[in-house]
Structure 1
Amino acid sequence: MTAVRIAGELVGIDSSQVALETFRMWRVRCLPEVLRPDAPSREGVKESLRSYAHELELLVASDEAGREVTRVSEELLARDVFGPLGGVVDVGAVNATGSWQLADVSVGDFLARRQEDVERLRAAIRSLCGFGDPVMAIADELGWLRDHQVSGVSLLLWSGGAAGAPRSLEGLERLDDPSVVRRMCRVAADLQLTRFLQGVIAAAVAAGTDVSRGAPKVVEVLDYGADLAGGSVGRGVRPAEIFRMWRVAHLPGLLEPGSGAEEDDKARLRAYEQALDGLLGVGVGADGLE
Protein backbone atom coordinates (compact mmCIF):
# COMPACT_ATOMS: atom_id res chain seq x y z
CA MET A 1 0.00 0.00 0.00
CA THR A 2 1.49 3.34 -1.03
CA ALA A 3 2.06 6.30 1.26
CA VAL A 4 -0.47 8.28 -0.79
CA ARG A 5 -3.21 5.69 -0.26
CA ILE A 6 -2.49 5.32 3.47
CA ALA A 7 -2.44 9.08 3.90
CA GLY A 8 -5.76 9.35 2.13
CA GLU A 9 -7.34 6.79 4.43
CA LEU A 10 -5.93 8.55 7.48
CA VAL A 11 -7.40 11.88 6.42
CA GLY A 12 -10.71 10.18 5.71
CA ILE A 13 -11.02 8.94 9.28
CA ASP A 14 -12.32 12.28 10.48
CA SER A 15 -13.11 15.36 8.40
CA SER A 16 -13.38 17.66 11.40
CA GLN A 17 -10.98 20.42 12.33
CA VAL A 18 -9.79 18.21 15.17
CA ALA A 19 -8.24 15.78 12.68
CA LEU A 20 -6.28 18.55 11.02
CA GLU A 21 -5.04 19.90 14.33
CA THR A 22 -4.09 16.41 15.49
CA PHE A 23 -1.97 15.91 12.38
CA ARG A 24 -0.19 19.22 12.88
CA MET A 25 0.46 18.55 16.54
CA TRP A 26 1.84 15.09 15.67
CA ARG A 27 4.11 16.65 13.08
CA VAL A 28 5.51 19.11 15.62
CA ARG A 29 5.58 16.97 18.78
CA CYS A 30 6.23 13.38 17.72
CA LEU A 31 7.73 13.29 14.24
CA PRO A 32 10.91 15.26 15.10
CA GLU A 33 11.76 12.80 17.87
CA VAL A 34 11.47 9.79 15.56
CA LEU A 35 13.48 11.48 12.78
CA ARG A 36 16.37 12.59 14.98
CA PRO A 37 19.74 11.28 13.70
CA ASP A 38 20.29 9.36 16.95
CA ALA A 39 16.78 7.88 17.07
CA PRO A 40 16.75 4.05 17.03
CA SER A 41 14.31 3.87 14.10
CA ARG A 42 15.63 2.30 10.90
CA GLU A 43 16.27 4.66 7.98
CA GLY A 44 13.61 2.89 5.95
CA VAL A 45 11.02 3.61 8.64
CA LYS A 46 12.14 7.24 8.85
CA GLU A 47 11.80 7.64 5.11
CA SER A 48 8.28 6.16 5.19
CA LEU A 49 7.28 8.57 7.95
CA ARG A 50 8.61 11.50 5.92
CA SER A 51 6.53 10.30 2.96
CA TYR A 52 3.37 9.99 5.06
CA ALA A 53 3.88 13.42 6.55
CA HIS A 54 4.39 14.94 3.11
CA GLU A 55 1.33 13.27 1.58
CA LEU A 56 -0.85 14.17 4.58
CA GLU A 57 0.22 17.79 4.25
CA LEU A 58 -0.72 17.80 0.57
CA LEU A 59 -4.11 16.22 1.27
CA VAL A 60 -5.14 18.47 4.13
CA ALA A 61 -4.06 21.49 2.07
CA SER A 62 -5.96 20.44 -1.04
CA ASP A 63 -9.44 21.41 -2.10
CA GLU A 64 -10.35 17.71 -2.13
CA ALA A 65 -9.88 17.61 1.64
CA GLY A 66 -12.87 19.95 1.88
CA ARG A 67 -11.51 22.31 4.52
CA GLU A 68 -9.18 25.23 4.91
CA VAL A 69 -5.77 24.65 6.44
CA THR A 70 -5.41 26.61 9.66
CA ARG A 71 -2.73 26.83 12.31
CA VAL A 72 -2.90 24.90 15.54
CA SER A 73 -5.76 26.29 17.58
CA GLU A 74 -5.15 28.63 20.47
CA GLU A 75 -6.83 26.13 22.77
CA LEU A 76 -4.21 23.45 22.09
CA LEU A 77 -1.40 25.97 22.45
CA ALA A 78 -2.86 27.16 25.74
CA ARG A 79 -2.96 23.64 27.14
CA ASP A 80 0.75 23.31 26.37
CA VAL A 81 1.28 26.41 28.52
CA PHE A 82 -1.12 25.84 31.40
CA GLY A 83 -0.56 22.09 31.67
CA PRO A 84 3.12 22.36 32.68
CA LEU A 85 2.22 25.36 34.82
CA GLY A 86 0.20 22.94 36.95
CA GLY A 87 3.37 21.01 37.67
CA VAL A 88 5.16 24.24 38.54
CA VAL A 89 2.44 25.15 41.05
CA ASP A 90 2.45 21.69 42.66
CA VAL A 91 6.22 21.69 43.03
CA GLY A 92 6.16 25.20 44.47
CA ALA A 93 3.50 24.28 47.02
CA VAL A 94 5.58 21.32 48.18
CA ASN A 95 8.85 23.28 48.29
CA ALA A 96 7.12 26.04 50.25
CA THR A 97 6.63 23.66 53.19
CA GLY A 98 10.36 23.36 53.76
CA SER A 99 9.70 19.88 55.17
CA TRP A 100 8.72 18.06 51.96
CA GLN A 101 6.08 16.28 54.00
CA LEU A 102 3.08 15.89 51.71
CA ALA A 103 0.74 16.15 54.72
CA ASP A 104 1.98 19.74 55.18
CA VAL A 105 1.14 20.80 51.60
CA SER A 106 -1.75 23.18 50.90
CA VAL A 107 -1.95 24.35 47.29
CA GLY A 108 -4.79 26.69 48.24
CA ASP A 109 -2.74 28.45 50.92
CA PHE A 110 0.28 28.61 48.62
CA LEU A 111 -1.75 30.21 45.81
CA ALA A 112 -3.34 32.66 48.25
CA ARG A 113 0.11 33.81 49.41
CA ARG A 114 1.36 34.10 45.83
CA GLN A 115 -1.83 35.50 44.29
CA GLU A 116 -0.23 38.72 43.05
CA ASP A 117 2.59 36.79 41.37
CA VAL A 118 0.12 34.38 39.76
CA GLU A 119 -1.96 37.26 38.39
CA ARG A 120 1.15 38.98 37.03
CA LEU A 121 2.18 35.71 35.42
CA ARG A 122 -1.23 35.28 33.81
CA ALA A 123 -1.12 38.85 32.49
CA ALA A 124 2.34 38.28 31.02
CA ILE A 125 1.20 35.05 29.33
CA ARG A 126 -1.84 36.82 27.87
CA SER A 127 0.33 39.61 26.47
CA LEU A 128 3.05 37.32 25.10
CA CYS A 129 0.83 34.62 23.61
CA GLY A 130 -2.08 36.81 22.47
CA PHE A 131 -4.65 34.69 24.32
CA GLY A 132 -8.16 36.08 24.69
CA ASP A 133 -10.53 35.57 27.62
CA PRO A 134 -11.95 32.19 26.45
CA VAL A 135 -8.45 30.78 26.04
CA MET A 136 -7.19 32.19 29.33
CA ALA A 137 -10.15 30.49 31.01
CA ILE A 138 -8.54 27.14 30.18
CA ALA A 139 -6.12 27.77 33.05
CA ASP A 140 -9.07 27.70 35.46
CA GLU A 141 -10.77 24.78 33.71
CA LEU A 142 -7.71 22.57 34.17
CA GLY A 143 -7.96 23.13 37.91
CA TRP A 144 -4.28 23.59 38.69
CA LEU A 145 -4.71 27.17 39.88
CA ARG A 146 -7.11 26.28 42.69
CA ASP A 147 -6.80 24.10 45.76
CA HIS A 148 -6.17 20.41 45.10
CA GLN A 149 -4.24 17.55 46.64
CA VAL A 150 -0.62 16.83 45.79
CA SER A 151 0.38 13.17 46.11
CA GLY A 152 3.52 11.17 45.63
CA VAL A 153 1.99 9.67 42.50
CA SER A 154 1.25 13.08 40.99
CA LEU A 155 4.82 14.21 41.67
CA LEU A 156 6.05 10.99 40.08
CA LEU A 157 4.14 11.92 36.93
CA TRP A 158 5.29 15.56 36.96
CA SER A 159 8.89 14.35 37.30
CA GLY A 160 8.64 11.93 34.40
CA GLY A 161 8.96 8.85 36.60
CA ALA A 162 12.24 9.93 38.17
CA ALA A 163 11.66 7.89 41.33
CA GLY A 164 10.62 4.74 39.46
CA ALA A 165 7.14 3.28 39.16
CA PRO A 166 6.11 1.54 42.42
CA ARG A 167 5.52 -2.22 42.12
CA SER A 168 4.03 -2.76 45.56
CA LEU A 169 2.26 -0.99 48.41
CA GLU A 170 5.64 -0.45 50.04
CA GLY A 171 6.91 1.13 46.85
CA LEU A 172 3.88 3.41 46.74
CA GLU A 173 4.47 4.52 50.31
CA ARG A 174 8.09 5.25 49.47
CA LEU A 175 6.91 8.06 47.20
CA ASP A 176 5.80 9.95 50.31
CA ASP A 177 9.25 9.86 51.88
CA PRO A 178 10.52 13.48 52.19
CA SER A 179 13.88 12.69 50.59
CA VAL A 180 12.14 11.11 47.59
CA VAL A 181 9.60 13.94 47.43
CA ARG A 182 12.37 16.53 47.42
CA ARG A 183 14.20 14.77 44.60
CA MET A 184 11.03 14.43 42.53
CA CYS A 185 10.40 18.16 43.04
CA ARG A 186 13.85 19.02 41.71
CA VAL A 187 13.37 16.89 38.60
CA ALA A 188 9.77 18.04 38.10
CA ALA A 189 10.81 21.69 38.32
CA ASP A 190 13.39 21.19 35.55
CA LEU A 191 11.04 19.17 33.36
CA GLN A 192 7.86 21.22 33.73
CA LEU A 193 9.57 24.62 33.52
CA THR A 194 11.30 23.51 30.32
CA ARG A 195 7.99 22.33 28.87
CA PHE A 196 6.36 25.54 30.07
CA LEU A 197 8.98 27.58 28.22
CA GLN A 198 8.41 25.53 25.06
CA GLY A 199 4.69 26.19 25.38
CA VAL A 200 4.96 29.96 25.75
CA ILE A 201 7.51 30.30 22.93
CA ALA A 202 5.40 28.14 20.60
CA ALA A 203 2.32 30.25 21.41
CA ALA A 204 4.25 33.50 20.93
CA VAL A 205 5.53 32.31 17.54
CA ALA A 206 2.03 31.23 16.50
CA ALA A 207 0.63 34.61 17.60
CA GLY A 208 3.28 36.46 15.60
CA THR A 209 4.54 38.32 18.67
CA ASP A 210 7.54 40.38 17.60
CA VAL A 211 10.76 39.13 19.13
CA SER A 212 11.80 42.60 20.31
CA ARG A 213 8.71 42.70 22.51
CA GLY A 214 8.24 38.98 23.06
CA ALA A 215 11.70 38.00 24.30
CA PRO A 216 11.62 40.33 27.36
CA LYS A 217 8.14 38.98 28.11
CA VAL A 218 9.46 35.44 27.96
CA VAL A 219 12.08 36.38 30.55
CA GLU A 220 9.36 37.94 32.71
CA VAL A 221 7.25 34.78 32.45
CA LEU A 222 10.25 32.62 33.32
CA ASP A 223 11.06 34.77 36.35
CA TYR A 224 7.56 34.29 37.76
CA GLY A 225 7.47 30.59 36.89
CA ALA A 226 10.88 29.87 38.43
CA ASP A 227 9.96 31.70 41.64
CA LEU A 228 6.70 29.79 41.89
CA ALA A 229 8.49 26.46 41.48
CA GLY A 230 10.95 27.40 44.19
CA GLY A 231 8.16 27.96 46.69
CA SER A 232 9.28 31.49 47.52
CA VAL A 233 10.89 34.44 45.77
CA GLY A 234 14.52 33.78 44.86
CA ARG A 235 14.50 30.03 45.53
CA GLY A 236 13.56 28.75 42.09
CA VAL A 237 15.56 27.42 39.14
CA ARG A 238 17.35 30.28 37.41
CA PRO A 239 15.67 31.36 34.13
CA ALA A 240 18.99 31.00 32.32
CA GLU A 241 19.09 27.32 33.31
CA ILE A 242 15.56 26.76 32.05
CA PHE A 243 16.46 28.40 28.76
CA ARG A 244 19.55 26.24 28.32
CA MET A 245 17.54 23.07 29.02
CA TRP A 246 14.91 24.17 26.47
CA ARG A 247 17.61 24.92 23.91
CA VAL A 248 18.91 21.36 24.22
CA ALA A 249 15.65 19.45 24.75
CA HIS A 250 13.26 21.16 22.34
CA LEU A 251 14.88 23.57 19.89
CA PRO A 252 17.05 21.14 17.85
CA GLY A 253 14.10 18.92 17.02
CA LEU A 254 12.13 21.90 15.73
CA LEU A 255 14.97 23.33 13.62
CA GLU A 256 16.29 20.19 11.93
CA PRO A 257 15.39 19.72 8.25
CA GLY A 258 12.95 16.86 8.81
CA SER A 259 10.97 18.50 11.62
CA GLY A 260 8.06 19.65 9.46
CA ALA A 261 8.09 23.13 11.01
CA GLU A 262 7.53 25.96 8.55
CA GLU A 263 10.61 27.96 7.57
CA ASP A 264 9.09 31.20 8.85
CA ASP A 265 8.50 29.59 12.24
CA LYS A 266 12.05 28.27 12.29
CA ALA A 267 13.33 31.78 11.61
CA ARG A 268 11.25 33.14 14.50
CA LEU A 269 12.48 30.37 16.82
CA ARG A 270 16.09 31.20 15.93
CA ALA A 271 15.39 34.87 16.58
CA TYR A 272 13.88 34.08 20.00
CA GLU A 273 16.85 31.86 20.88
CA GLN A 274 19.32 34.59 19.96
CA ALA A 275 17.42 37.30 21.84
CA LEU A 276 16.97 35.16 24.96
CA ASP A 277 20.63 34.16 24.89
CA GLY A 278 21.53 37.83 25.09
CA LEU A 279 18.91 38.84 27.65
CA LEU A 280 19.75 35.99 30.01
CA GLY A 281 23.51 36.35 29.65
CA VAL A 282 23.90 32.73 28.63
CA GLY A 283 26.58 33.49 26.03
CA VAL A 284 28.80 35.31 28.52
CA GLY A 285 31.27 33.28 30.55
CA ALA A 286 32.43 33.77 34.10
CA ASP A 287 35.20 36.07 32.88
CA GLY A 288 32.66 38.31 31.19
CA LEU A 289 33.84 37.37 27.70
CA GLU A 290 31.66 35.82 25.04
Structure 2
Amino acid sequence: MTARSVIAPLGGLLEIGAVTATGTWTLSEVSLGAFLDDRRDEVDQVLADIHSLCAFGPVFLAVADELGYLRDHEVTSAFLLLWSGGVEGVPPDLSELESPMAVRRMCRAGADLQLTELLDALVTAALPAQTDAKTGARLLTGILSGVTALADGTGRCTPATAFRTWRTRCLPRTLHPHSGTPESRRAGLRAYERALDALLDP
Protein backbone atom coordinates (compact mmCIF):
# COMPACT_ATOMS: atom_id res chain seq x y z
CA MET A 1 0.00 0.00 0.00
CA THR A 2 1.55 3.28 -1.08
CA ALA A 3 1.52 6.65 0.63
CA ARG A 4 -0.65 7.87 -2.24
CA SER A 5 -3.41 5.45 -1.19
CA VAL A 6 -3.54 7.13 2.22
CA ILE A 7 -3.10 10.71 1.04
CA ALA A 8 -5.93 10.60 -1.52
CA PRO A 9 -8.80 9.91 0.92
CA LEU A 10 -7.21 12.20 3.49
CA GLY A 11 -7.12 14.98 0.90
CA GLY A 12 -10.74 14.33 0.03
CA LEU A 13 -11.75 14.56 3.67
CA LEU A 14 -9.93 17.87 4.09
CA GLU A 15 -11.73 19.28 1.05
CA ILE A 16 -15.05 18.05 2.41
CA GLY A 17 -14.22 19.59 5.77
CA ALA A 18 -13.50 22.95 4.18
CA VAL A 19 -16.86 22.89 2.41
CA THR A 20 -18.73 21.76 5.52
CA ALA A 21 -17.08 24.49 7.59
CA THR A 22 -18.76 27.20 5.50
CA GLY A 23 -22.12 26.19 6.93
CA THR A 24 -23.76 27.17 3.65
CA TRP A 25 -22.67 24.39 1.24
CA THR A 26 -21.70 27.15 -1.20
CA LEU A 27 -18.50 26.33 -3.09
CA SER A 28 -17.67 29.96 -3.84
CA GLU A 29 -17.31 30.55 -0.09
CA VAL A 30 -14.78 27.74 0.43
CA SER A 31 -11.18 28.57 1.28
CA LEU A 32 -9.18 25.40 1.78
CA GLY A 33 -6.09 27.44 2.63
CA ALA A 34 -7.85 29.27 5.46
CA PHE A 35 -9.39 26.01 6.67
CA LEU A 36 -5.96 24.36 6.87
CA ASP A 37 -4.33 27.40 8.48
CA ASP A 38 -6.99 27.55 11.18
CA ARG A 39 -6.56 23.84 11.95
CA ARG A 40 -2.82 23.43 11.45
CA ASP A 41 -2.22 21.80 14.84
CA GLU A 42 -4.97 19.22 14.27
CA VAL A 43 -3.72 18.43 10.75
CA ASP A 44 -0.13 18.12 11.96
CA GLN A 45 -1.20 15.70 14.70
CA VAL A 46 -3.02 13.51 12.18
CA LEU A 47 0.06 13.49 9.94
CA ALA A 48 2.34 12.63 12.86
CA ASP A 49 0.12 9.71 13.87
CA ILE A 50 0.06 8.45 10.27
CA HIS A 51 3.87 8.54 10.24
CA SER A 52 3.98 6.56 13.49
CA LEU A 53 1.50 3.98 12.20
CA CYS A 54 2.71 3.46 8.64
CA ALA A 55 6.42 4.35 8.76
CA PHE A 56 6.27 5.94 5.32
CA GLY A 57 9.23 8.23 6.00
CA PRO A 58 9.88 11.39 3.95
CA VAL A 59 8.02 9.99 0.94
CA PHE A 60 4.68 10.69 2.61
CA LEU A 61 4.99 14.47 2.68
CA ALA A 62 6.75 14.44 -0.69
CA VAL A 63 3.77 12.71 -2.29
CA ALA A 64 1.34 14.95 -0.39
CA ASP A 65 3.16 17.98 -1.74
CA GLU A 66 3.14 16.52 -5.25
CA LEU A 67 -0.62 15.96 -5.12
CA GLY A 68 -1.27 19.34 -3.51
CA TYR A 69 -3.86 18.20 -1.00
CA LEU A 70 -2.20 19.96 1.93
CA ARG A 71 -2.08 23.41 0.36
CA ASP A 72 -4.66 25.86 -0.89
CA HIS A 73 -6.52 24.98 -4.08
CA GLU A 74 -10.00 25.32 -5.47
CA VAL A 75 -12.56 22.79 -4.28
CA THR A 76 -14.89 21.95 -7.15
CA SER A 77 -18.09 19.98 -7.54
CA ALA A 78 -16.17 17.54 -9.75
CA PHE A 79 -13.88 16.72 -6.82
CA LEU A 80 -16.84 16.24 -4.50
CA LEU A 81 -18.50 13.96 -7.04
CA LEU A 82 -15.29 11.90 -7.12
CA TRP A 83 -14.98 11.69 -3.33
CA SER A 84 -18.62 10.62 -3.01
CA GLY A 85 -18.24 7.81 -5.51
CA GLY A 86 -20.49 9.35 -8.13
CA VAL A 87 -23.63 8.65 -6.12
CA GLU A 88 -25.08 12.04 -7.03
CA GLY A 89 -24.80 11.33 -10.75
CA VAL A 90 -23.79 13.66 -13.57
CA PRO A 91 -26.71 15.91 -14.57
CA PRO A 92 -27.05 17.35 -18.09
CA ASP A 93 -26.47 20.78 -16.58
CA LEU A 94 -23.27 20.45 -14.54
CA SER A 95 -24.07 23.63 -12.64
CA GLU A 96 -26.71 21.63 -10.77
CA LEU A 97 -23.87 19.93 -8.90
CA GLU A 98 -23.05 23.28 -7.32
CA SER A 99 -26.46 23.73 -5.72
CA PRO A 100 -26.21 23.70 -1.92
CA MET A 101 -28.42 20.61 -1.70
CA ALA A 102 -26.24 18.64 -4.12
CA VAL A 103 -23.06 19.83 -2.41
CA ARG A 104 -24.42 18.79 0.98
CA ARG A 105 -25.33 15.33 -0.28
CA MET A 106 -21.92 14.84 -1.90
CA CYS A 107 -20.12 15.99 1.23
CA ARG A 108 -22.11 13.64 3.45
CA ALA A 109 -21.64 10.64 1.16
CA GLY A 110 -18.02 11.57 0.51
CA ALA A 111 -17.20 11.78 4.21
CA ASP A 112 -18.67 8.33 4.84
CA LEU A 113 -16.90 6.77 1.86
CA GLN A 114 -13.50 8.41 2.28
CA LEU A 115 -13.31 7.68 6.01
CA THR A 116 -13.78 4.02 5.16
CA GLU A 117 -11.21 4.21 2.36
CA LEU A 118 -8.75 5.97 4.65
CA LEU A 119 -9.11 3.39 7.41
CA ASP A 120 -8.65 0.55 4.94
CA ALA A 121 -5.54 2.17 3.46
CA LEU A 122 -4.07 2.85 6.91
CA VAL A 123 -4.56 -0.70 8.17
CA THR A 124 -3.15 -2.08 4.93
CA ALA A 125 -0.08 0.14 5.27
CA ALA A 126 0.37 -0.67 8.96
CA LEU A 127 0.75 -4.40 8.30
CA PRO A 128 4.05 -4.26 6.34
CA ALA A 129 5.24 -1.54 8.72
CA GLN A 130 4.88 -4.23 11.41
CA THR A 131 3.01 -1.94 13.77
CA ASP A 132 1.45 -4.29 16.31
CA ALA A 133 -2.34 -4.31 16.37
CA LYS A 134 -2.84 -2.86 19.86
CA THR A 135 -0.49 0.06 19.23
CA GLY A 136 -1.90 0.50 15.74
CA ALA A 137 -5.48 0.51 16.96
CA ARG A 138 -4.68 3.29 19.43
CA LEU A 139 -3.02 5.33 16.68
CA LEU A 140 -5.90 4.65 14.29
CA THR A 141 -8.43 5.78 16.87
CA GLY A 142 -6.51 9.04 17.25
CA ILE A 143 -6.26 9.52 13.49
CA LEU A 144 -9.96 8.83 12.99
CA SER A 145 -10.89 11.16 15.84
CA GLY A 146 -8.85 13.94 14.28
CA VAL A 147 -10.04 13.36 10.74
CA THR A 148 -13.73 13.04 11.62
CA ALA A 149 -13.52 16.34 13.48
CA LEU A 150 -11.84 17.96 10.48
CA ALA A 151 -14.22 16.51 7.89
CA ASP A 152 -17.46 16.93 9.79
CA GLY A 153 -17.23 18.72 13.11
CA THR A 154 -20.86 18.03 14.00
CA GLY A 155 -20.54 14.56 15.49
CA ARG A 156 -22.31 12.94 12.55
CA CYS A 157 -19.14 11.07 11.60
CA THR A 158 -17.35 9.17 14.36
CA PRO A 159 -14.43 6.74 14.59
CA ALA A 160 -16.89 4.03 15.63
CA THR A 161 -19.10 4.42 12.56
CA ALA A 162 -16.03 4.47 10.30
CA PHE A 163 -14.80 1.27 11.92
CA ARG A 164 -18.13 -0.53 11.62
CA THR A 165 -18.44 0.43 7.96
CA TRP A 166 -14.88 -0.75 7.27
CA ARG A 167 -15.51 -4.04 9.06
CA THR A 168 -18.60 -4.84 7.00
CA ARG A 169 -17.62 -3.25 3.67
CA CYS A 170 -13.91 -3.99 3.30
CA LEU A 171 -13.04 -7.02 5.40
CA PRO A 172 -15.50 -9.56 3.94
CA ARG A 173 -14.07 -9.29 0.43
CA THR A 174 -10.54 -9.82 1.78
CA LEU A 175 -11.27 -12.45 4.43
CA HIS A 176 -13.75 -14.51 2.39
CA PRO A 177 -12.54 -18.15 2.34
CA HIS A 178 -12.16 -18.04 -1.45
CA SER A 179 -10.52 -14.61 -1.69
CA GLY A 180 -7.00 -15.97 -2.07
CA THR A 181 -5.69 -13.66 0.64
CA PRO A 182 -2.50 -15.04 2.23
CA GLU A 183 -2.94 -16.41 5.74
CA SER A 184 -0.45 -13.94 7.18
CA ARG A 185 -2.50 -11.02 5.88
CA ARG A 186 -5.73 -12.59 7.13
CA ALA A 187 -4.21 -12.91 10.59
CA GLY A 188 -3.00 -9.32 10.56
CA LEU A 189 -6.36 -7.93 9.49
CA ARG A 190 -8.21 -9.98 12.09
CA ALA A 191 -5.82 -8.77 14.79
CA TYR A 192 -6.52 -5.16 13.82
CA GLU A 193 -10.26 -5.77 13.65
CA ARG A 194 -10.26 -7.22 17.15
CA ALA A 195 -8.08 -4.46 18.58
CA LEU A 196 -10.26 -1.76 17.00
CA ASP A 197 -13.40 -3.55 18.13
CA ALA A 198 -12.18 -3.45 21.73
CA LEU A 199 -11.66 0.31 21.50
CA LEU A 200 -14.51 1.45 19.27
CA ASP A 201 -17.30 -1.11 19.53
CA PRO A 202 -16.98 -2.76 22.96
What's the counterpart of residue 246 of structure 1? Answer: 166
Q: Is the 8 A contact 1:226 1:239 kept in 2?
A: yes
Mark the CA change 1:179 to 1:86 in structure 2 (over 3 Å): closer, same or farther: same
2:111 equivalent to 1:189? yes
Cα deviation for residue 137 of structure 1 reads: 1.9
1:225-264 to structure 2, matched below 5 A, reads 225-230=147-152, 232=153, 235=155, 237-264=157-184
- Deviation of the 1:268 alpha carbon: 1.1
3-state SS in 2 of match to 1:258: coil
Runs (4+) of structure 1 exceeding 6 A deviation are none
Alignment partner, residue 63 of structure 1: none
On the 8 A contact 1:226/1:238 being kept in 2, the answer is yes
Q: What's the CA shift for 1:248?
A: 1.1
1:1-290 equivalence runs, <5 A: 76-166=1-91, 168=92, 171-230=93-152, 232=153, 235=155, 237-280=157-200, 282-283=201-202
Write out per-residue CA displacement over residues 188-232 of structure 1, whole angstroms, 9 at most, x where no aligned residue. Answer: 0000110000000000012111112111001011111111111x4
Shift of residue 183 of structure 1? 0.8
Distance in 2 separating the partners of 1:159 and 1:212: 31
Give the whole-Å Cα distance in 2 for the aligned partners of 1:93 and 1:194.
19
- How many residue pairs get aligned? The number is 202
Deviation at 1:82, TM superposition (A): 0.5
Q: What is the match of residue 51 of structure 1?
A: none
Query: Given that residues 102 and 150 in structure 1 are in contact (C-alpha distance below 8 angstroms), is that contact kept between their aligned partners in structure 2?
Result: yes
Q: Provide structure 2 residue ranges, at least 5 long, that are not aligned to the other structure.
A: none
What is the rounded CA distance, in whole Å, between the counterparts of 1:89 and 1:114 in structure 2?
A: 10
Deviations 1:115-148 (A, max 9, x none): 1111000000000011111233212211111111
| In 1, Cα distance between equivalents of 2:132 and 2:4 | 22
Please give the alpha-carbon distance, in whole angstroms, between the structure 2 residues aligned to 1:273 and 1:251: 9
Q: Distance between the aligned counterparts of 1:208 and 1:260, measured in 2? A: 21
Q: Structure 1 residue 256: deviation in Å?
A: 1.3
Identity among equivalent pairs (%):
49
TM-score (norm 1): 0.67
Partner letter of residue 209 of structure 1?
T
Question: 2-side partners of 1:207 and 1:262: how far apart?
Answer: 17
Corresponding residue SS for 1:96: helix
2:137 touches 2:196 (CA, 8 Å); kept in 1? yes
CA deviation vs aligned residue, 1:148-186 (integer Å, no higher than 9, x gap): 1111121111111121112x2xx2111010011011100
Q: Report the aligned-residue RMSD.
A: 1.2
Q: Which has the larger radius of gyration?
A: 1
Q: For the residues of structure 1 that align with 2:103 and 2:61, how far apart are their CA atoms?
A: 31
Alpha-carbon shift at residue 236 of structure 1 (Å): 5.2
CA distance in 2, matches of 1:235, 1:212: 25
Q: TM-score, normalised by structure 2?
A: 0.96
Contact 1:229–1:236 (CA under 8 A) maintained in structure 2? no
Is there any run of 5+ residues in structure 1 with no aligned partner, and where? 1-75, 284-290
1:224 and 1:270 map into 2 onto residues whose CA distance is 24
How far, CA to CA, are the matches of 1:136 and 1:259 in structure 2? 33
